[in-house]
Structure 1
């Protein structure tokens, strides 16, 4: 009996766990192949892929009883990324290749029947998990070398065929460690400029405040007033992602399969704008077995724009409430509960009623129809939206007076405000005002009574909830940062309260 071990990684969302693969080749008895350790259907089919790939290398398949065990045995395993590790374990256990190079090496790749190694999803987060577990070396598909080299602290080797890996294990050849030359990707499109939007001074100001503090925004108004145009220009106001957040966003893109062969760190904040007809599973994530990420996760550290928000219906909108409050999505499925990051800026745009006339006086909807339409945005949902703004109808095709500010001018102010907030909260590890818990704002950074007098009156009259008061304080700090003040004053708190006016919803 010969027993050999290799290693792979099981992914659960964007987190990974090291999996030990044991191969037991026992002479005597009828030839058979068993795969243990809670494999899913795709992994169960690996038995046939691995056998054909080894035989077509060509190598001799052991004509005896072969048992493959994936440990921890109680942890579900899914996907095809285990194929290469399984094949190397069999080759070593059958004494066709030496096993000393297997120690400290983790393998990734799906095998074709002729032995070619195909790319797999989630390579970046899987390599991060392998590095945390102390693995020294990783062998990945050659097409994934660019993505794999985004991870430091672990030796990366690439292989195009199982035959190349067997040659490397026998120390008869080397594997490439640098990605092949690929054409440079086309330059990213320049975000549309804010100066393209006609008028709308209140909405432009709300967009700037949202960008500076990371606040959620709701724009209500008739069609054609620039709601979608403004929302698409928000990503151009946001600063470049810092290295840690950039790695998070790139890992999510890897799990979603959005990284190509010329994989690079995602530096710009993502902007996700799903169609109003999307399902709940497409919005928050879903699927059988282990759930896949949805739009809220793909917009992590960026913007999720829901156009025609009232058309989504209350079920989809209410599904966002936990993510807005906690910054993550927890999906419970048959094979386990996954946590996906979901710290995004929500921007919603909606018409004031179903008929949506250009002029409000032309509305033909009865009052109960208007209430029912806007009632799809429930009170608890609106309570989590920091900024609400009513859009004005456009009355002239040219903006009279001063030229509207462009994106560069506004971005400079946003950058200064974000820098002030980041410096203030650096000790606590927060980047923007929206991340600060209300308890910290009310205790360690409490404002004088004269500054919060209006807020106290709103709480006494029931016009605002405790959660809403905390969000007003966060907006007030953002307004102070934009003004270059050290602390918010009464005017900043009053302006933050005005942004929460229900008549703007």
Structure 2
């Protein structure tokens, strides 16, 4: 007798349908799994055998063949344990038919039959609905996550015995309900821009960056507040839409990083990898590809402190996601694509010792050391950063004299950012791009209308500061965002002046 059970294989953040076919025939006892399984799936034979026996069922000591179709799709992970076990019990005649047919399930089995959670349950639920499947059985710990998808009944199960009792009709199944709280409840933050003393220029630059989706480079000595400012950037970004929250949650689900009672990622992510991170850790990969930091920062902020201390080859890997908004990882047997649309906030010291021009301590670095330090950053990487600003250290008098009283809150800044983003969405909605940072050259010419006097000012700045053509486009995009914050259609002189101020590395001749 052949039994069939449906399940899913995760590739990137997508779930692909897999049919588990189980055949039990006469012959020498043998248990074989075919269909391009990885080592974890092959090891499921021992887990399934022990789970069936310890759940009180008879394991058939005959020739058992399990086929995972389609055969050309690589099967990875422990989520095939439950469908294989159910398929064996159905093929042995324990349950021939069920009101839940075609039966679809996923889960890892422990040796005593307990069903453990698996990564990617949200993607499985989405794929099941798209495939026309009406019911999906998942581990109890995955039920809240899987139930986020409407249009499909999600049934949580805790162990193999419970699963079989439901299929036999001895126990009634209760579907999980979507108990996620509304997205509006995610607006509260424990940190706020009003916590930051001074640094008004840097706060304004981050407001402009948030309003236009621009990448930012902050240059300043240790302790000047670069990390504190970066951590508060998500508090002024627009709230995530439901589509953004679902896409971000799918990434965290596949990575196995969903935790707590709330299954939906509602706040924009903030990721801050250490400068010792590997290639695979930053952009994803490994023997079994997994999302990297750039994907975990999708729809949020990627903060890279001590930017020049990252290995050169690691930094160069940022070029594709910064340009395209996704990462493609190719292996001999598989190619996966992860979303990676984020705001990069990079921070660096002005020199290796960190105190060049700080006024607090004397810089000990030679000009050669400074040039070598800054030279670690390639032109193509800096070319993708629209705003670079100085974050000077506060003096003792400023630190104690500038309290948080009267400082603008994140909520007030966010209101202006949302209004500016709304103008951009309305302007660009037909192009598929929704922020000024993503403007293409022909769109810059179309949407960045500059008053004649402002255009003359920009040309003078280009000549006097010896700015490159790439800096010209970035100044226009940032000026467009500044004008949007003021709800102006035409870029004025003061918009250009402010945008030029945000080209610190160009003005100081640091660009390679």
Could you tell me the TM-score, scaled by structure 1's length? 0.92
| Cα offset, 1:309, TM superposition | 1.0
Asked whether the equivalents of residues 273 and 304 of structure 1 are also in contact (C-alpha less than 8 Å), the reply is yes
| Cα offset, 1:25, TM superposition | 1.5
1:287-302 → structure 2 map (5 Å cutoff): 287-288=286-287, 290-302=288-300
Asked whether the equivalents of residues 191 and 236 of structure 1 are also in contact (C-alpha less than 8 Å), the reply is no
Partner of 2:223: 224
| Cα offset, 1:78, TM superposition | 0.3
Q: Does 1:418 align with 2:418?
A: no
Distance 1:400 1:295, change over 3 A: closer
| Cα offset, 1:89, TM superposition | 1.3
| Cα offset, 1:464, TM superposition | 5.0
| Cα offset, 1:454, TM superposition | 5.5
Distance of 1:221 and 1:308 partners within structure 2: 11
Partner of 1:330: 328
Asked whether the equivalents of residues 5 and 102 of structure 1 are also in contact (C-alpha less than 8 Å), the reply is no
Partner of 2:449: 447
Q: Structure 2: any 5+ residue segments left out of the alignment?
A: none
| Cα offset, 1:276, TM superposition | 2.0
Distance of 2:71 and 2:465 partners within structure 1: 55
Asked whether the equivalents of residues 124 and 150 of structure 1 are also in contact (C-alpha less than 8 Å), the reply is yes
| Cα offset, 1:466, TM superposition | 5.2
1:264-343 → structure 2 map (5 Å cutoff): 264-288=263-287, 290-343=288-341
Asked whether the equivalents of residues 483 and 491 of structure 2 are also in contact (C-alpha less than 8 Å), the reply is yes
| Cα offset, 1:62, TM superposition | 2.1
Partner of 1:8: 7
Segment drifting more, 269-278 vs 423-432: 423-432
The SS at the match of 1:356 is coil
Asked whether the equivalents of residues 82 and 109 of structure 1 are also in contact (C-alpha less than 8 Å), the reply is yes
**Cα deviation 1:283-316 (Å, max 9, x = unaligned):** 111211x311111111110001111111113222
Asked whether the equivalents of residues 146 and 261 of structure 1 are also in contact (C-alpha less than 8 Å), the reply is no
Q: Does 1:25 align with 2:29?
A: no
Distance 1:477 1:187, change over 3 A: closer
Segment drifting more, 448-457 vs 410-419: 448-457
Q: Structure 1: any 5+ residue segments left out of the alignment?
A: none
Segment drifting more, 447-456 vs 150-159: 447-456
Distance of 1:134 and 1:259 partners within structure 2: 26
**Cα deviation 1:296-338 (Å, max 9, x = unaligned):** 1111100011111111132221121111111111112243121
**Cα deviation 1:40-62 (Å, max 9, x = unaligned):** 01100111111221122212222
Distance of 1:41 and 1:141 partners within structure 2: 22
Distance of 1:327 and 1:459 partners within structure 2: 30
Partner of 2:369: 369
Select the residue among 147, 151, 157 that pairs with 2:155.
157
Distance of 2:179 and 2:444 partners within structure 1: 51
Distance of 1:105 and 1:364 partners within structure 2: 70
Distance 1:75 1:400, change over 3 A: closer
Asked whether the equivalents of residues 142 and 179 of structure 1 are also in contact (C-alpha less than 8 Å), the reply is no
Distance of 1:21 and 1:261 partners within structure 2: 32
Q: Does 1:346 align with 2:344?
A: yes
Distance 1:124 1:224, change over 3 A: same
Select the residue among 477, 496, 501 that pairs with 2:499.
496
Q: Does 1:167 align with 2:169?
A: no
Q: Does 1:91 align with 2:89?
A: yes
The SS at the match of 2:247 is helix
Asked whether the equivalents of residues 191 and 235 of structure 1 are also in contact (C-alpha less than 8 Å), the reply is no
| Cα offset, 1:252, TM superposition | 1.3
The SS at the match of 1:16 is strand
1:71-150 → structure 2 map (5 Å cutoff): 71-101=69-99, 103-150=101-148
Distance of 2:141 and 2:265 partners within structure 1: 18
Q: Does 1:404 align with 2:402?
A: no
| Cα offset, 1:360, TM superposition | 7.9
Asked whether the equivalents of residues 9 and 16 of structure 1 are also in contact (C-alpha less than 8 Å), the reply is yes
Distance of 1:32 and 1:306 partners within structure 2: 53
Asked whether the equivalents of residues 10 and 16 of structure 1 are also in contact (C-alpha less than 8 Å), the reply is yes
**Cα deviation 1:223-252 (Å, max 9, x = unaligned):** 222111111111111121000000011111
Distance of 2:150 and 2:420 partners within structure 1: 32
The SS at the match of 1:5 is strand
| Cα offset, 1:31, TM superposition | 1.7
Partner of 1:233: 232
| Cα offset, 1:457, TM superposition | 7.1
Partner of 2:393: 393
Distance of 1:34 and 1:105 partners within structure 2: 22
The SS at the match of 2:234 is coil
| Cα offset, 1:446, TM superposition | 5.5
| Cα offset, 1:351, TM superposition | 0.5
Distance of 1:377 and 1:160 partners within structure 2: 52
